[in-house]
């Protein structure tokens, strides 16, 4: 049993103990049989979750657990029953803080008077915690919606971007981007991927860009999917790169040779599907005697993510082509190596998934993933220059089999000349 699982279990139990105080206070006056039924149900859920997780982490023979149905079930289970608890925990913590403040103020103003002369009259069902219990229903219902509807509610995002140095022959050039397919999670939903591909092809793209994480862990996840993915069509081809998951970094390989063979297998599959995989490389597209360069780098992210990307090598392969597009999986690469340091006009990234959870309401567009990735979804411009980053929040999912406020995305770009 890993130390991380022990720490995770300990934190989960602490949360449950704290939340249980609020639950117990609200059911204390119910009939005994109903009250204890609620107690048993409350503690049974985390016990089942931790027991199943412990079994699979230590005894299961599943070779690719992250792509198993049970892993997705556990992810759904965890989100469904942990997010509401965090709402209750926050409300109860605020109530406890308010009581502590009241106690301190009363003691300071009248030291001889004990705080809660009416302590026996104060219950845990006070206003703040009561509101927390009500609000906890919202993330539960939102998660249910994300599982049943959100994860396959494909959105087509359209962007027109103007450049003064875009060759005139490429004005109106159409690019379709999709990212983070995580094909192992889509097993049993082949019809949904076919639907997404039909939407892509219907955009009549000049090129299609796939910006990494085609699998969760291993190349074998693509078994049976090659014929479907090979149906993606574009006038000048489908270009792809690798994401952090594609290197098999999160899989317990027996040795380095097996890991290397898996990567080679994955690379070969890109080619078999008709994807032009760019590994620190560049491709030149010519139209009416004018040219643009499409650069693609291997994954480059802030530690602990791998930094295999070699942008200088890709730039060398692009030669003297003045207008450049870059495919780079991790958006942190843009600020660290691209923006203000190169003449790359537009960078296409993915990786964040928008954490598969975001709030889009009343002009608010926020996701918890913004704490780690300030550029987590959408179009970003470097200062006032004609240098842009677009972060696609992904077509697939991993862990939690749902999307809330982060619909699976197909992005359609139209490049225009100023």
pLDDT in tens, 148-183: 999 999 999 999 999 999 999 999 999 999 999 999
Phi, psi of 368 (to 5 degrees): -55, -25
Determine contact, residues 182/396, Cβ cutoff 8 Å: yes
Mean pLDDT in residue range 321-329: 98
Which string of b and e fits 340-372 if b means at least 16 CB within 10 Å?
eebebbbbbbbbbbbbbbbeeeeeeeebebbee
| Two structure tokens written together for 403 | 């999307």
pLDDT of the residue at 110: 66
Pairing of strands 409-417, 378-381: unpaired
Distance in angstroms (rounded) separating the CA atoms of residues 76 and 83: 11
Mean pLDDT in residue range 101-118: 64
How many Cα atoms are found within 13 Å in the side-chain-facing hemisphere of 155? 17
More confident residue, 220 or 63: 220
Could you tell me the pLDDT band of residue 59, with boundaries at 50, 70 and 90?
A: low
Per-residue pLDDT tens over the stretch 340-367: 999 999 999 999 999 999 998 888 999 9
| Planar angle of CA 198, 200, 206, nearest 5 degrees | 130
| pLDDT for 2 beyond 80 | no
Task: Give, in order, the Cα–Cα distances in Å from 293 to each of 180, 231, 355.
Answer: 23, 24, 31
pLDDT of the residue at 36: 94
Task: Give, in order, the Cα–Cα distances in Å from 347 to each of 295, 333, 339.
Answer: 9, 9, 9
Instruction: For the chain, give the mean pLDDT.
Output: 92
Can you list the positions of beta strands (E) in 222-374?
A: 238-240, 275-277, 281-287, 290-296, 324-327, 346-349, 359-361, 364-366
User: Helices 3-27 & 127-135, crossing angle to 10 degrees?
Assistant: 120
> Which residue is listed with tokens 């980053």?
389
The neighbour count for residue 383, using CB atoms within 10 Å, is 7
Determine contact, residues 357/406, Cβ cutoff 8 Å: yes
| Two structure tokens written together for 385 | 């220059």
Burial label, 135 (beta-carbon count in 10 A; 0-12, 13-18, 19+): middle
The neighbour count for residue 403, using CB atoms within 10 Å, is 28
Task: Give, in order, the Cα–Cα distances in Å from 366 to each of 80, 91, 167, 219, 331.
Answer: 20, 21, 36, 33, 17
| pLDDT for 97 beyond 90 | no
pLDDT of the residue at 111: 57
For the chain, percent of residues with pLDDT exceeding 90: 78
Determine contact, residues 76/185, Cβ cutoff 8 Å: no
Could you tell me the pLDDT band of residue 303, with boundaries at 50, 70 and 90?
A: confident
Domains of the chain: 3-147 (no CATH), 155-417 (3.60.21.10)
| pLDDT for 61 beyond 70 | no
Per-residue pLDDT tens over the stretch 113-150: 544 444 444 444 467 778 888 899 999 999 999 999 99
Least confident of 108-117, 256-265, 377-386: 108-117
Distance in angstroms (rounded) separating the CA atoms of residues 131 and 81: 18
- Which secondary-structure segment (H or E) carries 173? strand 173-178
Distance in angstroms (rounded) separating the CA atoms of residues 177 and 208: 6
Mean pLDDT in residue range 1-28: 89
pLDDT of the residue at 114: 47
């Amino acid at each position: 049993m890993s130390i991380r699982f022990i720490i995770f279990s300990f934190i989960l139990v602490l949360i449950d103990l704290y939340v249980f105080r609020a639950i117990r206070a609200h059911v204390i006056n119910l009939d005994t049989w109903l009250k204890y039924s609620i107690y048993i149900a409350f503690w049974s859920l985390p016990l089942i979750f931790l027991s199943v997780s412990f079994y699979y982490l230590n005894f299961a023979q599943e070779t690719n657990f992250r792509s198993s149905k049970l892993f997705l079930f556990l992810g759904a289970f965890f989100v469904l029953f942990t997010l509401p608890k965090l709402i209750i925990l926050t409300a109860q913590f605020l109530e406890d803080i308010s009581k502590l403040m009241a106690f301190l103020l009363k003691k300071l103003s009248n030291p001889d008077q004990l705080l809660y002369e009416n302590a026996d009259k104060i219950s845990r069902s006070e206003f703040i915690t009561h509101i927390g219990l009500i609000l906890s229903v919202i993330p539960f219902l939102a998660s249910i919606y994300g599982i049943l509807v959100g994860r396959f509610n494909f959105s087509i995002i359209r962007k027109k971007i103007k450049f003064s140095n875009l060759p005139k022959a490429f004005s109106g050039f159409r690019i379709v981007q999709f990212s983070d397919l995580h094909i192992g999670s889509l097993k049993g939903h082949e019809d949904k991927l076919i639907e997404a591909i039909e939407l892509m092809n219907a955009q009549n793209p000049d090129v299609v860009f796939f910006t990494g994480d085609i699998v969760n862990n291993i190349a074998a996840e693509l078994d049976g999917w090659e014929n479907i993915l090979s149906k993606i069509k574009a006038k000048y081809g489908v270009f792809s790169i690798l994401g952090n998951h594609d290197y098999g970094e999160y899989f317990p390989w027996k040795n380095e040779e097996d890991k290397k063979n898996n990567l080679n297998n994955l690379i070969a599959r890109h080619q078999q599907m008709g994807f032009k995989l760019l590994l620190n490389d560049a491709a030149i597209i010519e139209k009416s005697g004018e040219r643009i360069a499409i650069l693609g780098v291997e994954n480059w992210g802030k530690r602990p993510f791998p930094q295999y990307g070699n942008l200088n090598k890709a730039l060398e392969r692009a030669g003297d082509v003045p207008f450049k597009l870059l495919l780079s999986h991790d958006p942190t690469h843009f600020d660290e190596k691209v923006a203000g340091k190169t003449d790359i006009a537009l960078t296409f990234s993915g990786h964040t998934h928008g954490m598969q959870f975001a709030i889009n309401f009343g002009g608010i567009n926020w996701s918890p993933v913004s704490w780690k990735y300030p550029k987590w979804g959408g179009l970003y411009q470097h200062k006032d220059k004609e240098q842009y980053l677009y972060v696609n929040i992904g077509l697939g999912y991993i862990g939690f089999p749902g999307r809330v406020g982060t619909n699976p995305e197909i992005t359609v770009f139209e490049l225009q000349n100023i």
